[in-house]
Amino acid sequence: MSTPAEYYRSLPPVSKIYGVACLMTTSAFYLQLYDAWNIALDYGAVFKRLQVWRLITNFFFLGPFSLPFAVRLIMIAKYGVSLERGPFDKRTADYVWMFIFGALSLLVISAVPYFRFPFLGVSLVFMIAYVWSREFPNARINIYGVVSLKGFYLPWALLALDLIFGNPIKPDILGMLAGHIYYFLTVLHPLAGGNFKFKTPLWVHRIVAYWGEGRQINSPVQSDPSAGIVFKGRGHRLGGTQRTAARDTAEQTEGSASASSHQQQTQSNGVAFRGKSHRLNG
């Protein structure tokens, strides 16, 4: 059984950083180191007083220490880590772009007065759960050990639980909407033969590559990890295969010439011997 330190070190980087950031934000709030409204999303403060940090900090507050907070943190540790180790394995930049796109989508949606919410961290976590449900639709999940469902129904089950417990469901709906937009652009639309290809921007790859320099973080430029592996393999084979083929051809030519010379020598020796024997008997 692994220790907490070993479990922490085994976590993939993006989910670990986001989960720790959310935990530290709530811990600082519990210690009364800041007022939560100073990091809340307020478009009036952003545009009038240029408090641009609110566009980012609101995503790291999942609420005070409580059961809902623990459930959100477990969702990051379970579904976020599962995505990063599964469909986004060796695609760190694509996973980071999913977070960035989800945050931007939520900021745009929350600009509508009806959908406005001061803290969008819960929505971002719910987006992770929604994308996981589409990537693992047939996985079996247990809700508090009582109900067993397919992974496809995970967001709806979590939405029903929040409704039963009296938690706000508007952040959940926003997260599902942002998750569906992302999944439609990256998976459903390309499968339907759409011409528009939603790819991770190059600047995200560069940031992740710079950040992961000296660490065990893989960030291929191509969104498909197999494509990157094939490309590197072909590059290696082109150099190595040409040299190997040339060397093998030279060796085969040499061997053929040597064998031909040996065969001719053997045949000539045989003919000379028979000729002499014939003449002696004659």
Encoded amino acid at 219, one letter = S
- The pLDDT assigned to 12 comes to 93
Residue the block writes with tokens 């600047």:
203
pLDDT reading at 251 higher than 80: no
Read off the pLDDT of each residue in 96-124 and give the average, rounded to a whole number: 94
Q: Which two tokens stand for residue 112?
A: 């509508």
Exposure string over 134-158, b if 16+ CB within 10 A, otherwise e: bbbeeeebeeeeeeeeebeebbebb
- Among residues 22, 25, 128, the alpha carbon closest in space to that of 79 is found at 128
**Predicted confidence band of residue 194 (pLDDT cuts 50, 70, 90):** confident
Among 117-126, 235-244, 245-254, 269-278, top mean pLDDT goes to 117-126
For residues 237 and 213, give the distance between their C-alpha atoms in angstroms, rounded to a whole number: 27
**Predicted confidence band of residue 260 (pLDDT cuts 50, 70, 90):** very low
For residues 282 and 276, give the distance between their C-alpha atoms in angstroms, rounded to a whole number: 10
For residues 199 and 191, give the distance between their C-alpha atoms in angstroms, rounded to a whole number: 14
- The pLDDT assigned to 100 comes to 96
pLDDT higher for 246 or 68? 68
pLDDT higher for 84 or 276? 84
- The pLDDT assigned to 106 comes to 96
- Among residues 173, 170, 218, the alpha carbon closest in space to that of 13 is found at 218
**Class in CATH terms, 4-211:** mainly alpha
pLDDT reading at 206 higher than 50: yes
For residues 235 and 213, give the distance between their C-alpha atoms in angstroms, rounded to a whole number: 23
pLDDT reading at 187 higher than 50: yes
- On whether the pTM is more than 0.85, the answer is no
For residues 83 and 145, give the distance between their C-alpha atoms in angstroms, rounded to a whole number: 22
For residues 159 and 168, give the distance between their C-alpha atoms in angstroms, rounded to a whole number: 9
DSSP-based three-state secondary structure for 216: coil
- The pLDDT assigned to 183 comes to 94
For residues 122 and 106, give the distance between their C-alpha atoms in angstroms, rounded to a whole number: 11
- Residue pair 62/121 in contact (Cβ under 8 Å)? The answer is yes
What are the sequence ranges of the domains in the chain? 4-211
For residues 95 and 82, give the distance between their C-alpha atoms in angstroms, rounded to a whole number: 12
pLDDT tens, position by position, 39-76: 999 999 999 999 999 999 999 999 999 999 999 999 99
Read off the pLDDT of each residue in 192-212 and give the average, rounded to a whole number: 86
